[in-house]
């Protein structure tokens, strides 16, 4: 087996330099812990960037995928796929939506939503009803459609020109949206219930209600990007459920597959019918393996009551992080929902320094925006494991403060 240094050097030679990687390579995991090539144990507050909902080594997920692998991996969507149908049924029955479209990633799911909005606008208002409004500071993915929808220029640098017809409003500011929206031109408005990459910023409840009213009034699709907030992460099965509104379209990915690549767009019937055969497709979308993973994740979330765990232990995590805020003057705020929490720092460079010091001590944590430390552990995490993580984070912050 290669050494850690050999793995790093191999990657530097053969893999494109598109990630700011830490010098770690993991070989196995158990529960909420990862182990590197030297057998060192790490508490994981990243969970594959809010992906590994069930942590590591979940027996149901392993067994169901293993069983499916002995049958068939893939046939394409030219034929019906039983696990895909069952997953669609489970998602529809537990949400306000009627139909599902499956793809492979979060970017693809938001791309699907953008395309559906344009098709719907054309269907009900003609080609002029094509504008889409997204929020400044948002993040929606890396395809050209989703990166244009992303309201952060740092992700668009060097990629111009962006796609036309996408406008940016202020998050949590309904007047900013009203200034851009019209019945004649606007086909969709996309919003995250909690801005993730933008810095873990929850939507204001009144903003979400007024956005729903505006979309209804002007026949605009209200679209929620729940790639990160969906599937139990925020203490509800879906983030929009915190706000007492029903969106028209929702994009999912990340936590839905528990580590397997999957994306999904859900929509209500009235707009889902804008897609007809040939309008959109995905060769691998919802194949036997990814759909089996998604179905198992939802079943395990239900069996283990992980939505409640995310709600209760998310509140506990926030409270413990708030104790750190009283101790360190470089922490300005703690915010988030459920097991999606952010510790906001005074300076961007502190994020990287604390991440490095935490990893040295056995805690994996990630940044968000410019000044946020983001905590998105597996949904199975316990209070004892949260205490362990906060203790390590405290030590890391102390080391940075003393440096």
Average pLDDT, the chain: 97
Contact assessment for residue 357 and residue 32, using Cβ atoms and an 8 Å cutoff: no
* pLDDT tens-digit readout, 133-151: 999 999 999 999 999 999 9
pLDDT at 62: 98
What is the distance between the alpha carbons of residues 298 and 87, in angstroms, rounded to a whole number?
9
Q: How many of the other CB atoms lie within 10 Å of CB of 307?
A: 21
pLDDT over 90 (residue 1) = no
**Which CA distances in Å does 18 have to 11, 14, 161, 196, 385?**
11, 12, 21, 20, 32
With bands split at pLDDT 50, 70 and 90, how would you rate the model's confidence at 3? confident
pLDDT at 120: 98
* pLDDT tens-digit readout, 321-380: 999 999 999 999 999 999 999 999 999 999 999 999 999 999 999 999 899 999 999 999
pLDDT at 217: 98
Task: Report CA Rg, the chain.
Answer: 21
Phi, psi of 78 (to 5 degrees): -75, -10
What is the distance between the alpha carbons of residues 348 and 370, in angstroms, rounded to a whole number?
5
What is the distance between the alpha carbons of residues 82 and 170, in angstroms, rounded to a whole number?
42
Mean pLDDT across the stretch 114-121?
A: 98
Exposed e or buried b for every residue in 75-101, given b needs 16+ CB within 10 A? eebeeebebbebbbebbeeebebebbb
Q: Which residues pair with 374 in a beta bridge?
A: 342, 366
Burial class of residue 30 (count of CB atoms within 10 Å of its CB; 0-12, 13-18, 19+):
exposed
Tokens 């929850």, residue? Answer: 202
Domains and CATH numbers, the chain: 4-58+305-402 (3.90.1150.10), 72-303 (3.40.640.10)
Q: Which residues pair with 169 in a beta bridge?
A: 135
What is the distance between the alpha carbons of residues 219 and 270, in angstroms, rounded to a whole number?
11
pLDDT over 90 (residue 2) = no
* pLDDT tens-digit readout, 293-320: 999 999 999 999 999 999 999 999 999 9
Phi, psi of 337 (to 5 degrees): -135, 135
Q: What percent of the chain has pLDDT over 90?
A: 96
What is the distance between the alpha carbons of residues 139 and 195, in angstroms, rounded to a whole number?
7
- pTM above 0.85? yes
Q: How many of the other CB atoms lie within 10 Å of CB of 273?
A: 14
* pLDDT tens-digit readout, 53-89: 999 999 999 999 999 999 999 999 999 999 999 999 9
pLDDT over 90 (residue 239) = yes
């Amino acid at each position: 087996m290669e050494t850690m240094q050999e793995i790093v050097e191999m990657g530097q030679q053969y893999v494109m330099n598109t990630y700011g990687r830490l010098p770690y390579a993991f070989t196995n995991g158990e529960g909420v812990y990862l182990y590197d090539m030297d057998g060192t144990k790490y508490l994981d507050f990243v969970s594959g960037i809010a992906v590994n909902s069930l942590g590591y080594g979940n027996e149901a997920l392993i067994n169901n995928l293993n069983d499916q692998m002995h049958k068939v991996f893939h046939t394409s969507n030219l034929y019906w796929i039983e696990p895909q149908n069952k997953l669609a049924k489970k998602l529809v029955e537990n949400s306000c939506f009627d139909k599902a479209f499956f793809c492979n990633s979060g970017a693809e799911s938001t791309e699907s939503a953008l395309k559906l909005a344009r098709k719907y606008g054309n269907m009900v208002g003609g080609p002029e009803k094509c504008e889409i409004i997204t929020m400044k500071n948002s993040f929606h993915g890396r395809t050209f459609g989703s990166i244009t929808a992303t309201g952060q220029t740092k992700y668009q640098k060097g990629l111009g020109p962006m796609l036309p017809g996408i406008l940016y409003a202020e998050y949590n500011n309904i007047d900013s949206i009203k200034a851009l929206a019209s019945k004649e031109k606007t086909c969709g408005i996309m919003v995250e219930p909690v801005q993730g990459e933008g810095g873990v910023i929850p939507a204001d409840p009144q903003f979400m209600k007024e956005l729903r009213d505006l979309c209804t009034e002007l026949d605009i699709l209200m679209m929620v990007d729940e790639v990160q907030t969906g599937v139990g992460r925020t203490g509800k099965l879906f983030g929009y459920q915190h706000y007492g509104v029903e969106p028209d379209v929702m994009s999912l990915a990340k936590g839905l597959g528990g580590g397997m690549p999957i994306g999904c767009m859900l929509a209500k019937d009235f707009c889902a019918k804008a897609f007809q055969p040939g309008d959109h497709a995905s060769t691998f979308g919802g194949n036997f393996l990814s759909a089996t993973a998604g179905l198992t994740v939802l079943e395990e979330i239900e069996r283990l009551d992980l939505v409640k765990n995310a709600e209760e232990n998310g509140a506990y995590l926030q409270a413990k992080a708030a104790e750190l805020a009283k101790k360190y003057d470089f922490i300005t705020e703690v915010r988030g929902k459920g097991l999606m929490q952010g510790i906001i720092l005074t300076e961007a460079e502190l994020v990287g320094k604390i991440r490095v010091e935490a990893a040295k001590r056995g805690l994996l944590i990630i940044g968000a925006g410019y000044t946020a430390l983001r905590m998105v552990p597996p949904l199975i995490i316990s209070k004892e494991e949260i205490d362990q993580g906060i203790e390590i984070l405290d030590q890391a912050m102390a080391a940075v403060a003393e440096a």
